[in-house]
């Protein structure tokens, strides 16, 4: 997909995506099929254009999906999500690859669309039965939701909002590392929103819990869907006001103040964490 337009935020699609549960009557110029087996996406290695996702229904590849669903239209392309339970032998040029490992390796637009598709596939798989009475759920024909024929309970795809924030003290930024990060890498703090919390309360609480620091001047920067499994990262900048670093030793194993001259290994450029650190670098001169 080639575009000249600019994004409304660094992590938005360039063209508007129109979600839907059945294709519009007007014919689309193309289709894209995001076919998953667990958290792995079916990709094809094409000699002319690198990695591509399927442009034809699973059946055309000899695959029988246990779930397939139209999810919307993007730039005149109809987008479908499907799930395969047991993949048959595939040609050498095709394989199921962990979606997460494709971050930064495939076209950003395609990755974003795959993120939408995988969340719908997972939601379908994980909400087969009513959470209230255990009856099998039915897919609604009017909106992206399921309802229970016995008790009427309605289930929508699940989203877990999480905040991610930079803390700046003069010409330094506070970065921390989790035990699962690659060697030497530090990133911004992040954490899930608790029921009933404002985003600002989450930012303040997470910083207090993880590093025992007080902050002010919470400013919204942007958001990034993070479909592992269903987060929405909401990014903020904050300013240090008081406290000495004291780590919780649960979620993080180290936290330090870094200046531009001694930055550690940073997260991937396509992440909102990197975007927040980049903002600090731009604003510190």
Of the candidate spans 60-68, 141-149, 194-202, 273-281, the one that interacts with Zn ion by CB under 5 A turns out to be 141-149
Query: Count residues contacting Zn ion (CB under 5 A)?
Result: 8
Could you say whether residue 138 binds Zn ion (CB under 5 A)?
A: no
Output the smallest distance, CB 156 to Zn ion, in A: 15
Contact track, Zn ion, 77-116, x by CB under 5 A = ----------------------------------------
Smaller CB separation from Zn ion, 63 or 137: 137
Q: Report the residue number, 96 or 153, with the smaller CB distance to Zn ion.
A: 153
Report, in Å, the least distance between residue 145 CB and Zn ion. 14
Quote the least distance from Cβ 126 to Zn ion, whole Å.
16
Tell me the closest approach of the beta carbon of residue 130 to Zn ion, in angstroms: 3
- Using alpha carbons, list the distances in angstroms from residue 246 to 94, 183, 190, 200, 284: 49, 21, 16, 21, 25
CA of residue 201 relative to chain centroid, distance: 22
In this structure, what is the dihedral angle of CA atoms 99, 103, 107, 110, given to the nearest 10 degrees?
A: 40
The Cα–Cα gap between 132 and 135 comes to 8
8 or 150: CB nearest Zn ion: 150
Residue 128 in contact with Zn ion, rule: CB under 5 A: no
151 vs 219 by CB, closer to Zn ion: 151
Q: Is 130 in the site for Zn ion (CB under 5 A)?
A: yes
Contact map string, positions 148 to 187, toward Zn ion, x by CB under 5 A: x-xx-x----------------------------------
Secondary structure (3-state) at 189 = strand
CA distance 117 to 241: 42
Burial 123-152 (b: 16+ CB within 10 A, else e): bbeebeebeeeeeebeeeeeebbbbbeeee
Residue 136 beta carbon to Zn ion: minimum distance, rounded to whole angstroms? 9
Torsion of CA 260, 257, 160, 99, to 10 degrees: 50
Give 3-state DSSP helix, strand, coil % of the chain, rounded to 5: 20, 40, 45
Closest approach, Cβ 138 to Zn ion, in A, equals 11
Give the ranges where the chain is alpha helix by DSSP (H): 108-126, 199-211, 272-283
- The CB-of-123 to Zn ion minimum distance in angstroms stands at 17
- What is the C-alpha separation between 72 and 65, in angstroms, rounded? 19
Tell whether residue 132 is a contact of Zn ion (CB under 5 A): yes
Only segment of 54-62, 107-115, 143-151, 254-262 that touches Zn ion (CB under 5 A): 143-151
Interacting residues of 89 by C-beta distance below 8 A, sequence separation 6+: none
Q: Which residues contact Zn ion (rule: CB under 5 A)?
A: 130, 132-133, 135, 148, 150-151, 153
């Amino acid at each position: 997909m080639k575009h000249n337009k600019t994004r409304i935020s660094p992590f938005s699609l360039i063209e508007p995506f129109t979600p839907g549960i059945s294709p519009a009557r007007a014919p689309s110029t193309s289709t894209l099929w995001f076919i998953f087996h667990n958290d792995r996406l079916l990709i094809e290695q094409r000699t002319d254009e690198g990695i591509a996702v399927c442009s034809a229904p699973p059946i055309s590849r000899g695959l029988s999906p246990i779930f397939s669903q139209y999810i919307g239209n993007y730039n005149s392309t109809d987008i479908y999500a499907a799930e395969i339970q047991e993949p048959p032998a595939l040609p050498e040029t095709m394989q199921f690859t962990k979606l997460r490992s494709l971050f930064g390796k495939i076209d950003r637009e395609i990755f974003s669309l795959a993120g939408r598709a995988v969340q719908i596939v997972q939601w379908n798989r994980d909400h087969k039965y009513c959470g209230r009475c255990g009856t099998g759920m039915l897919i609604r024909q009017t909106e992206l939701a399921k309802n229970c024929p016995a008790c009427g309970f309605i289930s929508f795809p699940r989203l877990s909002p999480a905040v991610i924030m930079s803390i700046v003290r003069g010409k330094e930024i506070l970065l921390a590392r989790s035990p699962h990060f690659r060697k030497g890498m530090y990133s911004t703090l992040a954490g899930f929103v608790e029921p009933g919390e404002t985003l600002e309360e989450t930012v303040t609480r997470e910083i207090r819990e993880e590093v025992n620091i007080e902050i002010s001047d919470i400013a919204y920067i942007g958001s990034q869907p993070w479909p592992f499994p269903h987060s929405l990262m909401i990014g903020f900048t904050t300013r240090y006001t008081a406290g000495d670093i004291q780590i919780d030793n649960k979620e993080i194993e180290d936290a330090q103040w870094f200046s531009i001259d001694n930055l550690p290994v940073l997260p991937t450029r396509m992440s909102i964490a990197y975007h927040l650190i980049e903002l600090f670098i731009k604003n510190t001169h």
